[in-house]
Every structure is written in structure tokens, then in C-alpha cells.
Amino acid sequence: MAEGGWKKLSPEQYRVLREKGTEPPFCGIYWNSKKHGSYRCAACNSLLFASDSKFDSMSGWPSFFSPANKNAIREEKDEQLEISRTEVACAKCGGHLGHVFNDGPPPTGLRYCINSAALKFVENKKGD
């Protein structure tokens, strides 16, 4: 994404998406949302996750067991902390979304732990 596109983000969105920040648990706007729709990248609007893959992981962040499609995200090794983790980024613009862990529910066994600030929610219209 061109640098100009990042300027459209709020300071918190910029910190998370561009500087690989993490919001505190239980405070993001989507961590406890039960609405039906799609979760898109707050920076470039790419479809990332669908609400039917969202689950309550009790972690305090929005959690999903799979992305909307296999090409929506990219994964990279993250060794910034003392533990090795897998970072999740938007495949289109490279914005940092969160991390994926191997402790999720069936059918994938994965937990994509995503920052609300990295997401934009689009609710399904009536009849969807």
C-alpha cells in the first residue's frame, strides 16, 4: 500500500497495522461482537474473515478459526517476544492483523487472534 493510504487511518489503526502494535484485551470494538457480516482490512478494505468463522476464545480479541479465503492473509514467523509466534498480515497491503495459534476449535484447530483496530466490519444486509 502506498504511504498515502496509511494516512487515512486513525492513530490506533496506524499503530496496529503499520507498527505491529497490539491493543489491550477486552477493549477492541469487535472482540465480543455477535453480528453477522464480514471483517475487512481497515487499511485496504480486503475481505479477511467472515462472522461464521468467529468464535469466543475468551482471549479478549476477535478470534476466527479460518480466513475468508486462503489468499486473504499471509503468515510470517514472529520472534519479537521470548516465544515463537506466527504473525498474520493482510495479503493485499501487508498490514499487521494479529497472530495465529494452534489452539482453536474444529474444523481447523486454529485461532486467528486479530486486533479490532485492524478490522472494518460490514454487516450483512437483511435477507443475506
Q: Which domains does the chain have, with CATH numbers?
A: 3-123 (2.170.150.20)
Confidence grade of residue 85 (pLDDT, cut at 50, 70, 90): confident
Phi/psi at 17 (5° precision): -70, -40
pTM of the model: 0.88
The pLDDT-based confidence of 33 (bands split at 50, 70, 90) is: very high
CB-based contacts of 16, cutoff 8 Å, min separation 6: 22, 23, 96, 115, 117, 118
CA distance 11 to 22: 13
pLDDT digits (tens, 9 = 90+) for 97-127: 999 999 999 999 999 999 999 999 999 986 5
Which element (helix H / strand E) includes 115? none
Q: Is 93 a catalytic residue?
A: no
Q: Of 41, 44, 90, 113, which residue is the catalytic one?
A: 113
Residue type, 4: G
